Amino acid sequence: MLDRHGKVGILINNAGLSIGDQRAEMLSESAMGAMLSVNLKGTVKCVRAPAPAMAKNGGGVITNTASILAGSPLPVAAAYAASEAGVIAFTQAWSRELGPSGMRVNVIAPGFIETLMNRSPPPRLAQTLVARAPRGAWAGHRKSRLCTSFPPPARRPSSMGR
């Protein structure tokens, strides 16, 4: 990426994976490993790649996407919630580590966004998610783009971590 474009000023990390029923007796090692690999390790790899060049060029903005479940997990999504909580922890640490070099590292944790991954949840889970949603409904993927296009905290030079 750096060889091709020469400079990176903005990174928006927006990938996530949730697999199946994650209750203690149902969670498989392979499902947990896949979620940790995509959600947590993927975020680390994506930040680690351009961060040195961004710092060398005087700074930049990194926005990571986590999930509202990181702070309010559901039993059927325990591993997903744990992996997303890790994204928040890394982001907060990176904001302190990379801030002195002119970088802003923030995380957004949107509510429930309708995606291909979660389009047809079991009815009981869907009811729980809707009940937790601030407006009593899931946001469509088009509305979620507004969060990542210009998240308000990322616009403030002094914002760090969240």
User: Residues with catalytic annotation?
Assistant: 80
Name residue, tokens 């990571």.
Answer: 64
State how far the Cα of 153 lies from the Cα of 162, in Å rounded to an integer. Answer: 7
Give the pair of three-digit tokens for residue 95: 């904001």
Radius of gyration of the chain (CA): 17
- Alpha-carbon dihedral sign for residues 137, 143, 146, 149: positive
State how far the Cα of 1 lies from the Cα of 33, in Å rounded to an integer. Answer: 27
